[in-house]
C-alpha cells in the first residue's frame, strides 16, 4: 500500500470527509490511507458505476478507470454513472467528468482501452488495489492472474440475474499470510455455451448496485486496514429469496500461479483459455449467413424457413417474423423444422442459434441449417433500425 505519512487535508476536505473522521476506528488515519491509495476499477458498467461513485465520494486519492466501450441505451437500467445525454460517448470519459464533479480532490486516470494480456501488467502495476467489475470470463482470469503476478489485492464481484458473488482475492493478512485467488475457487472457466450466456441471462438492475457497493466497502477496508476483509470467503446473495451465504475458500496446491508447483509465470491468451476462438463466443462452428444475405432472401421471397430460438418475452421486444421455438423446447418441435430447404436459425446475438444448430445436426442429422451471424442485434443494426435492441 502507498505510504500515507505526510498526507494533509484542506479545510474543504476535512469538512467533506467529516463523517469518516469521527468514526473512532477509521478517523483521519483511515482517511490519509484512502487519500494516498491508488485503486484501479476495471469496467464502468453495473458494478463499476457504484464502485467508482463510492470510491470517489470516499476520497480515494487516485482512481484508474478502464473501459473501452461507449454508453448505450441498454446500460441505463443499471449503470447509474450515465444519463441519456451520454449515449454514444466513451464510458471512461463520461465517468471521469461525472466523478470530477462529485469530488475534484480525486486524481482520475482514464484508460480508454480494453484490458489485454499485452497491456494489463503495465496498467495494473501502478495501483495498490484492483476492483474487478468486468462481465466476461477471459477478462476475469486476466485480472486475477495479473493481480497474482503483481502482488495486488483483487476485490471481486460477479452477478447473474438475481444472484451475486463477492470475495477479496490475493489478500495478505496482517501476519503476512496470503489468501486464495479466483483460480483457487474456479481453476478453469466453463466452456462457451455450457452455462447460459450473459445474453440469455439478464440481470436485475439493482443487483450490481448492491454487489458493487459491497466491493467498494471491501476496497476501503483493505486500504484503511480496518475490519476483516472478505478474504478466504465467498459471499453469495440471492436477491429473489433474500438468502445470503458466506462460504470458505481455500488455497489450492494445484493453482498454476502460486500453488505448490507453479507452471504459469506470465499472462496467457485468455480467449483461448476460455475456449473462444476468433471472437466466436459460442465456440461452435456452424454454417453462417449474414443479415444482408437474409434480407435478400426475404426481399426475393425465396423458399426458406426462418426459426427464432429465443424466449417469448424476447420475441415481444423485437422480432423478424421467424417461427418461435425456444432453444429449450427445440427437441419437441423437430418435426416442424424443414429438412428439404434452407433453414436460417437466429437468436439475439448468434450463440443460442449455434447451439440449436449443433444439437439438430448431431442428434437429428440436419444439414440445411444456417446460423444468422450476429443475430437479431446485427439485423437491427444493419437492416431494420426500427427494431429495439436489447
Partner 1 sequence: MAKIIIPTPLRKFTENQSNVELNGETIQGSIQELAGKFPAIEKHLFDDDGKIRSFVRIYLGDEDIKQLDNENTKVENDSVISIIPAIAGGIL
The one catalytic residue in 37, 146, 219, 347 is: 347
Site string for partner 1, 122-141 (x = CB under 8 A): ------------xxxx--x-
CA-CA distance, 376 to 387, in Å (whole number)? 9
The residues that bridge with 345 in the sheet, in sequence order, are 307, 371
- The reply on whether position 185 binds partner 1 by CB under 8 A is yes
Site for partner 1 (CB under 8 A): which residue of 11, 19, 174, 245?
245
CA-CA distance, 188 to 74, in Å (whole number)? 30
- Sign of CA pseudo-dihedral 160, 165, 168, 170: negative
Determine whether 198 is an active site residue.
Answer: yes
Find the binding residues for partner 1 in span 152-171 (CB under 8 A).
158-163, 165
C-alpha 158: how far from chain center: 7
Site string for partner 1, 40-79 (x = CB under 8 A): -----xxx------------------------------x-
CA-CA distance, 99 to 215, in Å (whole number)? 18
By beta-carbon proximity to partner 1, the closer residue of 200 and 308 is 200
Kindly tell me the burial class for residue 119, based on how many C-beta atoms sit within 10 Å of its own C-beta (0-12, 13-18, 19 or more). middle
Nearest to residue 154, comparing CAs of 135, 166, 168, 164?
168
Nearest to residue 154, comparing CAs of 138, 136, 134?
134
Determine whether 274 is an active site residue.
Answer: no
By beta-carbon proximity to partner 1, the closer residue of 104 and 205 is 205
Shortest CB 253 distance to partner 1, Å: 11
- Span from 99-107, 214-222, 234-242, 283-291 in contact with partner 1 (CB under 8 A): 234-242
Residue with cell 424466449: 311
Q: End-to-end alpha-carbon separation of the chain, Å?
A: 41
- The reply on whether position 283 binds partner 1 by CB under 8 A is no
Q: Which residues bind partner 1 (CB under 8 A)?
A: 45-47, 78, 134-137, 140, 158-163, 165, 185-190, 194-199, 201-203, 207-208, 234, 236, 238, 240-241, 243, 245-250, 328, 349
Residues carrying an active site annotation: 198, 347
Amino acid at each position: 500500500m502507498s505510504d500515507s505519512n505526510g498526507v494533509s487535508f484542506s479545510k474543504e476536505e476535512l469538512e467533506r470527509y467529516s463523517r469518516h473522521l469521527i468514526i473512532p476506528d477509521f478517523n483521519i488515519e483511515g482517511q490519509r490511507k484512502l487519500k494516498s491509495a491508488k485503486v484501479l476499477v476495471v469496467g464502468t458498467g453495473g458494478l463499476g458505476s457504484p464502485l467508482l461513485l463510492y470510491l470517489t465520494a470516499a476520497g480515494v486519492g487516485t482512481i484508474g478507470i478502464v473501459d473501452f466501450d461507449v454508453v448505450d441505451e441498454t446500460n441505463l437500467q443499471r449503470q447509474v454513472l450515465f444519463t441519456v445525454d451520454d449515449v454514444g460517448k466513451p464510458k471512461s470519459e463520461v465517468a471521469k467528468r461525472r466523478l470530477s464533479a462529485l469530488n475534484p480532490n480525486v486524481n482520475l486516470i482514464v484508460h480508454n482501452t480494453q484490458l489485454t494480456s499485452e497491456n494489463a501488467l503495465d496498467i495494473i502495476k501502478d495501483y495498490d488495489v484492483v476492483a474487478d467489475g468486468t462481465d466476461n470470463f477471459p477478462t476475469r482470469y486476466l485480472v486475477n492472474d495479473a493481480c497474482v503476478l503483481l502482488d495486488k489485492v483483487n476485490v471481486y464481484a460477479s452477478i447473474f440475474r438475481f444472484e451475486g458473488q463477492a470475495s477479496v482475492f490475493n489478500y495478505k493478512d496482517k501476519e503476512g499470510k496470503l489468501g486464495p485467488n479466483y483460480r483457487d475457487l474456479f481453476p478453469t472457466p466453463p466452456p462457451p455455451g455450457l452455462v447460459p450466456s450473459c445474453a440469455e441471462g439478464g440481470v436485475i438492475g439493482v443487483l450490481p448496485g448492491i454487489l458493487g457497493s459491497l466491493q467498494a466497502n471491501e476496497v476501503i477496508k483493505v486500504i484503511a486496514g480496518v475490519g476483516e476483509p472478505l478474504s478466504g470467503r465467498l459471499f453469495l446473495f440471492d436477491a429473489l429469496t433474500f438468502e445470503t451465504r458466506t462460504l470458505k475458500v481455500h488455497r489450492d496446491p494445484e493453482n498454476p500461479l502460486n500453488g505448490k508447483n507453479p507452471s504459469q509465470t506470465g499472462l496467457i491468451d485468455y480467449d483461448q483459455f476460455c475456449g473462444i476462438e476468433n471472437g466466436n463466443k459460442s465456440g461452435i462452428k456452424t454454417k453462417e449467413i449474414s443479415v444482408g444475405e437474409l434480407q435478400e432472401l426475404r426481399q426475393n421471397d425465396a423458399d426458406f424457413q426462418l426459426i427464432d430460438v429465443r424466449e417469448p418475452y424476447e420475441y415481444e421486444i423485437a422480432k423478424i417474423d421467424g417461427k418461435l421455438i425456444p432453444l429449450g423446447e427445440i427437441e419437441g418441435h423437430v418435426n416442424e423444422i424443414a429438412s428439404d430447404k434452407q433453414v436460417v436459425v437466429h437468436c439475439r446475438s448468434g450463440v443460442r442459434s449455434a447451439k440449436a444448430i449443433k444439437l439438430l445436426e448431431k442428434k437429428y442429422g440436419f444439414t440445411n441449417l444456417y446460423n444468422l451471424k450476429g443475430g437479431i442485434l446485427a439485423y437491427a443494426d444493419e437492416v431494420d433500425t426500427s427494431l429495439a435492441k436489447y
